[in-house]
Amino acid sequence: MGKKLEGQVAIVTGASSGIGAGVAKSLAAAGAAVVVNYPVPSNKEAAEAVVAEIIAAGNKAISLQCDVSKESDVEQMFANTVTALGSVDILVNNAGIQKDAPFQDMSLDQWNLVISINLTGQFLCAREAVRTFIKQGIDTNKSKAAGKIICMSSVHEVIPWAGHANYAASKGGIMLMMKSLAQEFAHKKIRINSICPGAIQTPINRSAWETPEALESLLTLIPYKRIGQSEDIGNAAVWLASDDSDYVNGISLFIDGGMTLYPGFTTNG
């Protein structure tokens, strides 16, 4: 049997580090040719390292720079992908940042930056993906669907997060954007779902795991008692991108070791 994503092209935004890099490697290992997107020139080296690792494993990848919050950048990235690799079949809307601050001190810049990358960036990339999928139509040699979009959300699309109002608002927004798009484009055979990671060991949450004390405190929030790894998310992304999940549309798939199970109630309430 061929690999599950053989012959398909995937764009993974924000793939020069963290969850995005892990997802890019998993999709490539499943046979997809992957665009490792990075935001600014200073991330080029890290993106190239991800590409090199994928190629060394015998799989396909290229890197493309694009600031997902800029309309013309996004249009250009999709056009360049089609020119270089022939199509776009999978979008992983992953790029995201945190700019944490107590709410009364949160600047408009901190608010706008997080919303523009985490939410507007996902809008711009999803819109371009939908346009591309509709133009391409269904190729049953590749997939039963015309295209697949995976939005990287967070447990914080449902768990409120003091000190991170901009981030939580962006993830709550992703939830209903994703579900609205899934409803709007199901009849076109475009599947749109979210992955909601809990605490995954990446640079974005370094302060939550880099000391034994911080990790111990973090683990009180995780019933499964381990921090997540990028492969935990990569494995789920392969499933959501493949025909194994062909009847799955509009879901938020929580991958969080039980963080959303209200662990405070285990011995209380």
Give the binding site for ligand BGC (CB under 6 A): 98, 154-156, 198-199, 204-205, 208
Q: Is 139 helix (H, G, I), strand (E, B) or coil?
A: coil
CB atoms within 10 A of CB 113: 15
Q: Which of 240, 40, 51 is nearest to 150 (CA)?
A: 240
Amino acid identity of residue 28, one-letter, is A
Shortest approach of ligand BGC to residue 208 CB, angstroms?
5
Taking the C-alpha atoms of residue 106 and residue 120, their distance in angstroms, rounded to an integer, is: 19
Taking the C-alpha atoms of residue 8 and residue 242, their distance in angstroms, rounded to an integer, is: 10
Shortest approach of ligand BGC to residue 155 CB, angstroms?
5
Shortest approach of ligand BGC to residue 162 CB, angstroms?
11
Q: Which of 40, 46, 2, 41 is nearest to 20 (CA)?
A: 46
Nearer to ligand BGC, 128 or 157 (CB): 157
CB atoms within 10 A of CB 102: 9
Taking the C-alpha atoms of residue 269 and residue 265, their distance in angstroms, rounded to an integer, is: 6
Helix axes 121-136, 71-85, angle to 10 degrees: 40
Amino acid identity of residue 222, one-letter, is I
Q: Which of 69, 126, 99 is nearest to 204 (CA)?
A: 99
**Residues annotated as part of the active site:** 167
Q: Is 82 helix (H, G, I), strand (E, B) or coil?
A: helix
